[in-house]
Chain A
Amino acid sequence: MADAITEQFSAPLTFNWTLSYRCNFSCSHCYSRDEVGEELPTSDLKRIIDILAGKQVPFINFGGGEPLIRPDLFEIAAYATEKGLNVSMNSNGWLLDLAAAQKLKASGFKSVGVSIDSAEAALHDDFRCMPGSYVKAVAALDALRAVGLRSTMSSVISRINYRHFRELLQLAREHGVHQVYLHNFKCSGRGFKNREELDLSPQEWKDFYVEALAVKAATSDLSISFDDPVISSLPGYEANPLVKGSSCGKLSLHLRPDGDITPCGFIPLVVGNILREDFDKMWYDSPILNAMRSKEAKGKCSGCGAFADCLGGCTARAFATTGDFCEPDPHCWK
């Protein structure tokens, strides 16, 4: 065995892929709801899969927009599976009935995530501006369980749910969910516009994470994940052996509906187009990616003992609020 991984990988491990910005919902925190973009035909999506398979990218995760809006989702997933990729997706659950779950399973999906923001139906529906959406999301989890497809649950932590995350975990348990992602709130798209109303203060973030890390440590029947480097300084944080700081641009990249690559879904900077440009050149030489990979401590991060693991926290949040990758994450309580 070899020691800690410090060098750059030959390709990302995960592509988060927005097939379409179209969605049947209009959520208050959505990063992409106000985006528009040309969508590629099925044949081009398959060309992209060929490129990803050629680069041995092991995982793709379809997000959106709502992936089930695209009628060719099943065909694309089956093609990717056939090429050896591990396919997953995130859905709002509205279109995910038993028949859709069966088709997802048949097209090779390894897991499917459903977004639920509150264990209180009325609150979830209100947040998602969609009456009946809670009932459908929960039914989607049950449909996945019925067909034997691994399910995950995604909840964006915000002012509406941060005191009630235990209820979300309980809901997940009751519906056979394997893993719960408690996503940190990103200040992008509508999330940025509605930031005042939805985002927590740095002290509230700290309190939330201290509590959530303790719950995670005491939980064995459910996997709980947070992907937020700003928690590096807290007790109970397990350092990621793969990468320090944000994983965007190091372990993962994001694809837009037109094939443009961005470091993640929350950083609106285009690295290049996967169908028109050489992948290795973008991956190794992109000034944007290289700047994200070599952050320097600025402001309060200079001299902070957690910098080696935290690297200034979430690069997307720092960039959204200051225009500079290297500024401290605005969620940091230090």
Chain B
Amino acid sequence: MNLQRNPEIVWRIEKRREADVLAAMERGEDVSEHGTVILIANGMMHQLNFVGGRIWALCDGSRSDEELFALLSGEFQVEAAELAADLTEFINDLTNREWLRRG
């Protein structure tokens, strides 16, 4: 079943931060601690870094995990095994929080 965002969660891409992060990535800097997507779940606000935000944005219920992986491996220059592990960890974390669902 495809991954889908919990519709109760309000979120947005922080466009200016995203542009800054993309520029920093171009320069080869570590941007893993910089949030580019904010989301509000149960009245609390959280943020996702660029990779997490990208996965989150893609989880609209239209893609299988394989399609998600294929899309991300085209966008990020990471070893396949590393990407697969990161993706699994991220999905597990967010499904445990009930921010993502299978449906």
Given B16, B45, B49, B93, which contacts A242 in the complex, CB threshold below 8 Å? B45
CB of B33 within 8 A of CB of A2, answer: yes
- Which secondary structure characterizes the binding site on chain B? strand
Tell me whether B27 is interfacial, beta carbon within 8 Å: no
The segment from A7-15, A166-174, A186-194, A209-217 that touches chain B is A7-15
Given B14, B49, B52, which contacts A9 in the complex, CB threshold below 8 Å? B14
What's the A-B contact tally at a CB cutoff of 8 Å?
45
Given contacts A13-B40, A241-B44, A242-B45, contact A2 B35 (CB under 8 A): yes
CB of A2 within 8 A of CB of B12, answer: no
CB of B45 within 8 A of CB of A241, answer: yes
CB of B52 within 8 A of CB of A58, answer: no
- Which secondary structure characterizes the binding site on chain A? loop
CB of A86 within 8 A of CB of B46, answer: no
Please indicate the chain A residues that have their CB under 8 angstroms from the CB of B14 in the complex: 9-10
Closest chain B residue to A284, Cβ basis: B16
Tell me whether A1 is interfacial, beta carbon within 8 Å: yes
Tell me whether A56 is interfacial, beta carbon within 8 Å: yes
Please indicate the chain B residues that have their CB under 8 angstroms from the CB of A241 in the complex: 44-46
CB of A2 within 8 A of CB of B48, answer: yes
Given contacts A1-B93, A2-B48, contact A10 B17 (CB under 8 A): yes
Given contacts A5-B38, A10-B16, A10-B17, contact A58 B10 (CB under 8 A): yes
Q: How far is the CA of A241 from the CA of B43 in the complex (A)?
A: 12
Closest chain A residue to B45, Cβ basis: A242
Please indicate the chain A residues that have their CB under 8 angstroms from the CB of B16 in the complex: 10
CB distance from A8 to the nearest CB of B (A): 8
Tell me whether B102 is interfacial, beta carbon within 8 Å: no
Please indicate the chain B residues that have their CB under 8 angstroms from the CB of A223 in the complex: 43
CB distance from A61 to the nearest CB of B (A): 14
CB distance from A120 to the nearest CB of B (A): 30
Q: How far is the CA of A2 from the CA of B34 in the complex (A)?
A: 6
Tell me whether A3 is interfacial, beta carbon within 8 Å: yes
Q: Could you tell me which A residues sit within 8 Å of B by CB distance?
A: 1-3, 5, 7, 9-10, 13, 56, 58-59, 86, 223, 241-242
Query: Can you list 9 A-B pairs, Cβ within 8 angstroms, ordered by A?
Result: A1-B47, A5-B45, A10-B16, A13-B45, A58-B12, A58-B40, A223-B43, A241-B45, A242-B45
Q: What are the 9 A-B residue pairs with the smallest beta carbon separation, nearest first?
A: A2-B35, A2-B49, A56-B12, A58-B10, A242-B45, A10-B14, A2-B47, A10-B16, A3-B33
